[in-house]
Every structure is written in structure tokens, then in C-alpha cells.
Structure 1
């Protein structure tokens, strides 16, 4: 049952806190047991020595509680030492109260089982050896407790009653604390699974980014050639004499320029030429420009845009954020060609961007796995990559993306981004100091 565990995460700390709680319960339980045996059963105990052991245990537990409020990482060795202290304190109390003849000697099993759940294999077997040695030492060196066994009296026998209490205590503590520790371990496994999934998604994004960057380089030369050819065509008599052909040439040039601007944005997001194209702007201006550019380059019949941000905070124009917002708008436009709405609001220290459409909405399965790659209602093999990138860009900025179906029809996608991740830090610091 022993398992090898890395305690450099929250699980080790949670398990240590469980041991601290168990130790406080042990202190209270020992005080009650000593009082009942000494005063209730009239069995004389060395109260001074036993209370001194309890005081040490309480002091150690208080120090442990203070330490683990400051230090967050718990190693296997630290858990091992904590269990050894518990074993030592139990051994001292048993030595003072009858040794191996004390019915509470079976509390050693609690320490062994906790070690099997919490510790690495070598630590667990060490606990087994130490508790066995302590049991043997108590049988050899401790003095007998004047405790009438009287098995024939059943539960009226103090010894049988003590064994029953010990059994019930062991069983109750094991159920409670093993359940809690198992829950901690399951939560840790879930966190590790989420981290592995995120690493796989980020690896997928890196591959997509490399492909996009390579495609942008490869397409740059053909687009430049097309731009030159179209520029030459505009001056040919055959085209200058025909206004309709000339208008088509202008439209082709505009589309080529749009393709070149898109490729420049890809290279900018990949980290190339960042110092050349990054422009200082404000959040409101950035949103207004992005909305206007999207409106002018998409065949949307009705586009409602409302900027209720209300603050003029400085930022650097971010092509990745711009493309993220455009991806959400593009998905809304594909689902609802007649009407799309974008609303920008300021909610505390966050920027909230809400895109609404009047389409059929998301299927329940898509809402459950929103943002997963290759999950789309469009039926294309490459579908779903747009929202996948949106979710991961928002997560990189410390934000999140949520989606829901509106009761009146259509879908609503909300991007929530912390302002600290998009505004200029220098200006933010000056604002805080004023």
C-alpha cells in the first residue's frame, strides 16, 4: 500500500495538516483517558510524567502548525519525522502506564497504516521496524500496570473496556483520516492530469505556431509578386480604359494587402519584428480599432459594438489579442451572418469582452468541452481550432473564456482578461503611486 510520492505540491501540505489535526485529537483524547483511568477507575498513574509528555506533544504540534503556515512544501522526510515523534510520544505514555499490557498499545497500528499511506516504501518499513521494536521494548522494560483484567466480566472489565475503546478509536480515526488523505491524493492526481493535458495543448499550439510562421514566410514572396503585378496592371491601357476592370484591380490589391497584413500579424505573434510593429495605444482605442477593422473586412449585415470600458488605460497593440477577439467574432459571424454584437465592459481589475450572436447556439457536448481542438459544429476536420486558440491565448494572459446559450436564442462567448496582463506596467505603477 506504500506509494512513492513527491510532496513538492499542495498534497504534502494537506496531509501534514491532517496529521496536525490528528495530533490535537490525540492530546485531548489522552487527557480524557488519563482522567477517567486515574480518577474514575481509581488506578494510580504517574500524572506528572504523563502530563509532561502531553505538554511536549502539544508544544511540538503548535510549533508544527506555525511552521506549515509559512512553509508550503512538505517532503517525505518531514512527514516521516512527524510520525516518528508521534510514535515516540505514544511509547513514552505506554511506558508510564503499563507498557505492553496497556490495551492502547494497538494504537501503534494507526501509525503504521498512516505511514503506509503517506510515506515512501523505505520510510514505511522503517516505521514498521521502529514500532515493533518499541512494542518489544515495552514488554521487556516497562513496569506492569495494576489493571484488573477479569475477562469474565465482559465490558465491566476495565481491560476489555480499554481494548474496545482502542478498537473504536483506531477504526474511527482510520476511516476519517484515510478518507481525507485519499481525497487529497485524488485531488493531486486530478491536478497532475490537468497539467499533462495543458502541456499537450501547449505543445500542439507550438506546432501550429511553427507551421503558421513557416507558411507566412513562404507566402510572403508570392504575395509581394502579386502586388507588383497588380500595380503594373493598373497602368496598362487595357485596364485604365475600363473602369469596371480597374475597380476589380483595386479590390484585388486591397485583398492582397489584407493577406500581407495577416501574415505580418502571424510573424509578429511568433516574436519576429516585434519592435517594428508594436504600437503604444490605449485599451479603448485598441478595441475601437479592432472592431472597426473587423467590421470593414467581413460581410456582416448588422454589427452592434458598444464600448463601455470607461477607462483610457495605456497598452501596447497586441496582435495575438487582436486575432483572439477576431476569431470569436468570426465564429459568431459564421453561426449568425445577419447579426453579431460585441460589448466591452470594465469589471473591477478585469476587461470583459462579450460576443453575442443569433445563431443556433452550442450543442451541449460542445459547451461541456468548450475550447477543445477539433471540436466544431461545422463538420470540417480542422474545425474548432479557432476557439481552441482563443482559450489558450486567454489562459496565457491569465484570463478565461466562458460560453453559454442564451434563453432567447443564439450563443454568448465572454472573454475575461486581467488588466494587469495587457496594460503598460510603467503607466500602471505611476497611476498607483498618484
Structure 2
């Protein structure tokens, strides 16, 4: 079985993180729906004011067909954006053509090309240029141009009162001013939202690229670690054989101090062999030691017991947690995650480490707190970045970098802080289901 760490670290396919144009169209269609509601209310208000307030006779019922139709288009489009993850350029083009058709019908009934609101065609063109691919945008320009020409020939005349003709403050100029203000307001609203979407997309793309670069870095380190583990296997085996021979020699066994040193050396060799085996297992190369089913607390207890360091006390504190102990997969790679935290704490000068697990709302949170000097501000500011360390040696700072990528790939997060009581604390948060096999999740 491939380990959980390898499967979710990003050694797989990153294609799902690519920014989709159709997903962007979904957000743009939702924005277009919002603007269309403004247009519907504005059209209805304008028609009623002109007809009843200014006393200009309009084909009221025919004119109201356009906003009613646009409202129906909105009622169809809004559920579409909620049910589907992507919208094609073709569908977005149809949505804009619905607006063009409604505007054309209203202009046909109110003077055609002589109506000052004919400038609203330009608003449709601008929206198409921003939202659509160039081919669709040019098509929209052609369609609106044809509509403009046809309205110059085919239209119903607008019956204006004689006192509205001529003069600086004529009704035509007032209509042109209203059209300009309407276009300006809608464009500002629209472009502001589009710029927000673009900034969000750019930030997302930058984050994806950063993650891809980090994943490439991890892949290269994984290959180096796997190769190093293979190469270390032979000398460790040789050292183990030599130590076994020495321990059987009567002359060496007679020296109590030397015999004790050989026992320590043998234990350290066995620990190195276990680390090498764990690296190969994480890479999917070890066989016969598949991850086993266990419970969360038992797993943490085994991790603490397996991480043996003299003069360092590590304990699991479950007092804040009163819920059931969930069943999980004890993947050896996950042990290395906690080993990284313990090693970092010891290297920083800690002599006591407390592991506190809690489970709530389907999420697991494990707080690892030590009594060391805490994290420097530079480390907290760049948590999860490679080579982010105060240690002056090559390769320092990769532990938390790997840990942060593991948690992110699992759908979790890593937070670090310096508690008020002193020391340092790292909180690991992730969905509990990613640690459980499907059959265990079904049982729960």
C-alpha cells in the first residue's frame, strides 16, 4: 500500500489546480446576473416615469416584455451558476445576446437609432470585450452594429410633445445625459468587480505556481532521500554485523564500559536502520510492513514511545478531549511528521514536549508544545518556506517545509506560535477522514 504521505504529498497530478477559463466564466455570469437585475429595475422605472411622469405615450405593455424576459433569463441563469462548476464562452455569449435582443426591442418601439439610449449598445460591447474571447467579442460588435443599422431603417417613431423639441435642455439631451450616467455607473460597478476577480485569480495562480515549485522541490528531495537510503543500507548492515561479532568476543565482553558502549552503538545502528526502512516505505519501496489499523490515541502513544531520546520527556495529554477515540491508519510516514516536530523542538533546546489531540466537527487538531525558547519572529513570518531556519548549517529549515506541504496536501493547515506561558507550539489541523480507510469511515 502506498503511504498516505506519498499519496497526498503532491507526487501525483497537479492538473486539477490549473485555473480554468470556464470556471472564470461561471463567476462572470454570476456578476452579469447581478448587473442585469439592476438593468431590469432601471428599465421598469424609466418606462413608468416617462409614460406617467412626463406624459409621453409609450407602448407600455410591449416595452415591459423586455425587462420581464430579462428577469426570466436571470431566474434560469442563477441556478445554472450554482449547479455547475463551469460555464462555456458560448453560454456566456448567449447571455449577452439576450441583453442585446432586449435592448433592440425596446429601441425599436421608441424611435430606433434616434433614441439617445442607443448608446447602451456600447455597454454590451465593452462587457463582451472583457468577458469573452476575441472571436466572440468581434462577433458581438458585428451583431450590435447590424442592430444599430436596422434600427435606423426599421423602428416605430416616438411621439414627443412639441414643447420638448429644440433647446439646450431638450428631452433628447436629457436622455443622452441619463444614458451616459447609466453607462458610467454600470461600467464602474462592473469593472470594479472584474478587477477584484482578476486580483483574486492572480493571487490564486501565484499560489498554485508556488505550490508547484515546492512540490518539485519535494520530489527532488524524495528521490535523493530514497537513493541515500539505499546507499546507507549496506554500510549499516556491515556495522551491525561487526558489532554483533565484537559483542561475542570474550576480551571485549569482559570490559563492562566497552560492552555498554557497544550496546548503545547497536541500538543507534538499529535506529538508523529503522529510519532508512521508514524512508523506503514512504517511497513505496518497502514491502511486508503495511500500515496497520489502530486508534488515534494509541497511534500517538506509539509515536512517542518510538521516538526515544535520552533526557527528553514526551507525553500525550488527552485531558482536554472527552470524545471517542477514532480509528485511523497508522501509516509509518505519519510518524515521521511528528518526528520532525520533536527533533526541531529538541534542537531548539526543549526538554519537555506535550502532544494534545482534540477532535471536533470532523477535524483533528494536534497541538505539540515544548518548553524551549520559542520560535523567532523570522521563522513565524515565513512558516512553511524551505530553508527557513536559524540554524547555520546546510539543509536546515526543511523539516517544517515538508511538514507544511504534507498538511496542505491532506487538506489541513499548520500554525505556529509562542504561547504566553513560554516555549513554542505547533498546531496541526486536518480532516479526520483522510487518516481513516473507507471501511472504517463507513463503520463510524
Q: Give the shorter-chain TM-score range.
A: over 0.9
Of 287, 306, 310, the match for 2:317: 306
1:364 is aligned to 2:360 = no
Aligned to 2:220: 207
In the TM superposition, what are the counterparts of 1:16-415 in structure 2 within 5 Å?
Answer: 16-147=29-160, 150-154=165-169, 157-294=170-307, 297-308=308-319, 309=321, 310-415=323-428
Query: Is the contact made by 1:288 and 1:307 (CA closer than 8 Å) also made in structure 2?
Result: no
Change (3 A) 1:302 1:281: closer
Query: Is the contact made by 1:335 and 1:357 (CA closer than 8 Å) also made in structure 2?
Result: no
Q: How far does residue 421 in structure 1 lie from its aligned partner after superposition?
A: 0.8
Query: Is the contact made by 2:66 and 2:103 (CA closer than 8 Å) also made in structure 1?
Result: no
Change (3 A) 1:137 1:285: same
Moved more, 216-225 or 409-418: 409-418
Q: How far does residue 140 in structure 1 lie from its aligned partner after superposition?
A: 1.5
Distance in 1, matches of 2:311 and 2:141, equals 73
| TM-score (norm: length of structure 1) | 0.92
Q: How far does residue 32 in structure 1 lie from its aligned partner after superposition?
A: 0.9
Q: How far does residue 108 in structure 1 lie from its aligned partner after superposition?
A: 0.9
Q: How far does residue 330 in structure 1 lie from its aligned partner after superposition?
A: 1.3
Q: What CA deviation, in whole Å up to 9, does each residue of 1:6-52 have, x standing for no partner?
A: 5232x322210111111111111111111111112221111222122
Query: Is the contact made by 1:6 and 1:75 (CA closer than 8 Å) also made in structure 2?
Result: no
Q: How far does residue 304 in structure 1 lie from its aligned partner after superposition?
A: 4.4
How many residues align? The count is 422
Distance in 2, matches of 1:224 and 1:66, equals 65
Moved more, 275-284 or 387-396: 275-284
Q: What CA deviation, in whole Å up to 9, does each residue of 1:46-91 have, x standing for no partner?
A: 1222122332222222111222221220122221111111111101
SS at match of 2:335: helix
Change (3 A) 1:45 1:300: farther
Distance in 2, matches of 1:283 and 1:35, equals 68
Q: What CA deviation, in whole Å up to 9, does each residue of 1:270-305 have, x standing for no partner?
A: 1123553423322111101111222xx224444443
Query: Is the contact made by 2:294 and 2:327 (CA closer than 8 Å) also made in structure 1?
Result: yes
Query: Is the contact made by 2:317 and 2:356 (CA closer than 8 Å) also made in structure 1?
Result: yes
Distance in 1, matches of 2:252 and 2:396, equals 40
Change (3 A) 1:99 1:6: farther
Q: Which runs of 4+ in 1 moved over 4 A?
A: none
1:7 is aligned to 2:18 = no
| TM-score (norm: length of structure 2) | 0.90
Q: What CA deviation, in whole Å up to 9, does each residue of 1:124-152 have, x standing for no partner?
A: 12212221221111112113322365442
SS at match of 1:413: strand
Q: How far does residue 314 in structure 1 lie from its aligned partner after superposition?
A: 2.4
